[in-house]
Amino acid sequence: MSIKIYHNPRCSKSRQTLQLLEEKGVQPKVIEYLKVAPSQAELASVLSLLALSPRELMRKGEAVYKKLGLSDASLTDEQLIGAMIENPILIERPIVLANGKAAIGRPPENVLDIL
Which residues are the active-site residues? 11
Contacts of 41 (CB under 8 A, 6+ apart): none
- Name which of 96, 102, 64 is nearest 83 in CA terms: 64
Amino acid at 82: G
Exposed / middle / buried, residue 66 (Cβ in 10 Å: 0-12, 13-18, 19+)? exposed
- CB 33, CB 58: distance < 8 Å: no
